[in-house]
Structure 1
């Protein structure tokens, strides 16, 4: 669709430029008619839902409106100016360049077929922002209390009690990074809360529409640590990541306590009135998986945890004689580790059984591991669907992105069904996507 729209508008601009040169006329009236017609056709396509409207088309519609208004104003002035080929060429070049810029969102975020939730419940959403009066926000210039925002996805019903699941995004993620997973879980009877770790999230939009971007220093350190090969800085990294984990686990503890408090109020509103405090699960991607696992270790009311391609940094309890010391207390909560192939192979090669996750699983009371062959780190988010180009640059594998997300959602649902709804033993395979990378039907 990007190429069709681009080619049609480029042909239109080129044709108008050609005839204006040939007739030595700016063709203001013809341009107004052409831009109006193209805009009308797009609006009709949007209205008929032949072409799904989204934010991707906003710059394009602004470009068309701008071209229409500019030429319309000049036409209404009725003041004829001598036609100059050089100026006409500059105007044409400018129009084509701005047209290309307006189509960038369509290139970066091409329309795609959304994943349909397979459960029987329709899904509703709500956003809440809570203030932790017992903590100062380390990223706030005013040293104000820390605010944490959570987006809820829950079944559209006023009856029944459902398990609570909290999700924590990765270092470069945001609260909507796994939207289709949240929808899938909620459609099957879960109340899902996706945490936005303010200043760790790529962006946070709270309930009063205040936008907070990720802290630049945090992003810089995260990029540096992810690409670091220098083992001489392991102790420094240990202390830096401990600070990150402390912030995130405290966010999660605070939200869990707040949510459970809401369920105990006299007249809890949605979604709190739907919650069963007897069944709680945590999961997260990357750094969010690490903090989810650590939070589950620190509490006695979490029943299951899933780590999506994250290193369980919370298992590192000390740094002595040039090496991290891992927690030898058995991991107490049913645990599922899901690995991208490159992550798994690298950990096996460089650390083996002493890798944080492998060590925790080996010493856990109940743990499972699975590897998604042909996947990269961001295959466990929705980014490959929303922006294939960005996902390719940032880290995915050759496996079909849609199949990977669908399969991930299936095993996440199966694992939580087992431990939060007592629906039997989860049948998690050791590997997925190892024989085929064909698209999900």
Structure 2
């Protein structure tokens, strides 16, 4: 099934199929053994002007997910009603209640007490115009497996970001359209600042940090891994390399996405960048997926009854594949646990093809 953003990219105004009652939205249950907590952080870099509004300091909103013993507290909010309205408008979704994304059931307990241990950290960066909330399902799952996960909103790069004083910033770069490499490099700086702040908290094991990003966030992951030696491994989920790698990157890197090799219209930056990944690497193509299959939007579009095409992969299936392969990657490189799932094709996931161009 084509996912939400694939239809949006094609310029299609999306409307839901007829349903008997309002959609009830929920993210899939995390698959790890631990309960999950979530808190929201407002970080201000007083030494750095905002790259898009230079008269301001760079401010970032971050959702921090982590394992907890609290299973019974109130569930964390997915997005606010106003954020839902702005996100749906940015995706050009029509015919559903404007606040519907704010009804999405999550599984993290709001402001729960974290486990008393140092945790490996995975930083997540969303796609162009996407909010950090679009990677909530992956974040909750990794946290349930024992990771701290920092999902970062890059200010003026998302459809809606709410700050503690009530301000809501929208996607300024969607109007000004700076070049992709500049955005990706700025995001890498954002991520390094977030790591600076978190590694001073006592919760994070500073020797075990990875980054994963979707779309433009995947391009930022390549920049961040190259520029920040604290980041031991990186994941690009269906993102064009901006720019393609021309210098070698010797740390572990996973490329996970829709089919990008050997077909018309394939992303040539993946082919060009592959030889410059000189450390441990994998390139995994997932048949039947589209660009936003690796985010929450695939599942939520289905639950809203949005008819977005005939790609065969369901949102639940792509979520399971994304979660298991990203978790296997960080378990291998941050915890040193062997992962047969990354050794070659698996009968559990026949949709996943190991590329070796």
Q: TM-score range by the shorter chain?
A: 0.7 to 0.9
Which residue matches 1:168? 125
Give the superposition deviation at 1:284. Answer: 0.6
Distance 2:340 2:47 in 1: 39
Structure 1 equivalent of residue 351 of structure 2: 434
> What is the distance in 1 between the residues matched to 2:266 and 2:239?
15
**In structure 2, distance between residues paired with 1:154 and 1:125:** 6
How far has the Cα of 1:203 moved from its partner? Answer: 1.1
Instruction: Find the counterpart in structure 2 of residue 148 from structure 1.
Output: 60
| Deviation of 1:282 (Å) | 0.1
Q: 1:201 maps to what in 2?
A: 158
Q: RMSD of the TM alignment (CA)? A: 2.9
Please report how far the alpha carbon of residue 356 of structure 1 lies from its aligned counterpart in structure 2 after TM superposition.
2.5
**More moved, 417-426 vs 182-191:** 417-426
TM-score between both structures, scaled by the size of structure 1 = 0.59
Alpha-carbon distance in structure 2 between the residues aligned to 1:374 and 1:184: 22
- SS at the partner of 1:176? helix
Q: How many residues align?
A: 287
Give the deviation of 1:412 after TM superposition.
Answer: 0.7
- Partner Cα separation in structure 1 for residue 233 and residue 21 of structure 2: 36
Change (3 A) 1:108 1:415: farther
Instruction: Report if aligned partners of 1:370, 1:430 keep a CA contact under 8 Å in 2.
Output: no
In structure 2, stretches of 5+ residues that fail to align are: 1-15, 69-113, 353-357
Instruction: Report if aligned partners of 1:336, 1:367 keep a CA contact under 8 Å in 2.
Output: yes
Supply the distance in 2 between the matched residues of 1:152 and 1:415 (Cα, whole angstroms).
Answer: 20
Higher Rg: 1
C-alpha contact 1:399 1:433 (8 A) present in aligned 2: no
- Is 1:243 the counterpart of 2:243? The answer is no
The answer on 1:255 being equivalent to 2:194 is yes
Secondary structure in 2 aligned to 1:131? strand
Shift in alpha-carbon separation, 1:259–1:274, aligned structure 2, 3 A: closer
Change (3 A) 1:433 1:351: closer
* Alpha-carbon spacing, 1:221–1:146, altered in 2? closer, same or farther (3 Å): closer
Structure 1 residue 138, shift from structure 2 partner: 3.8
Q: Per-residue deviation at 1:214?
A: 1.2
| Shift in CA distance, 131/107, structure 1 to aligned 2, threshold 3 Å | farther
Structure 1 match to 2:46: 133
Give the Å deviation of 1:109: 7.7
Higher relative contact order (CA 8 A, sep 6+): 2
Aligned ranges for residues 20-59 of structure 1 at < 5 Å? none
Contact 1:170/1:287 (CA < 8 Å) preserved in 2?
yes
Q: Note the alpha carbon deviations across 1:347-372, whole angstroms, 9 max, x for none.
A: 754578xx322333323221101111
Shift of 1:179: 1.0
Instruction: State the match for 1:299 in structure 2.
Output: 228
Distance in 1 of aligned mates of 2:143 and 2:168:
26
Please name the residue that 2:326 is paired with: 412
Distance 1:109 1:149, change over 3 A: farther
Name 1:276's counterpart in structure 2.
205
Determine the structure 1 residue equivalent to 2:84: none
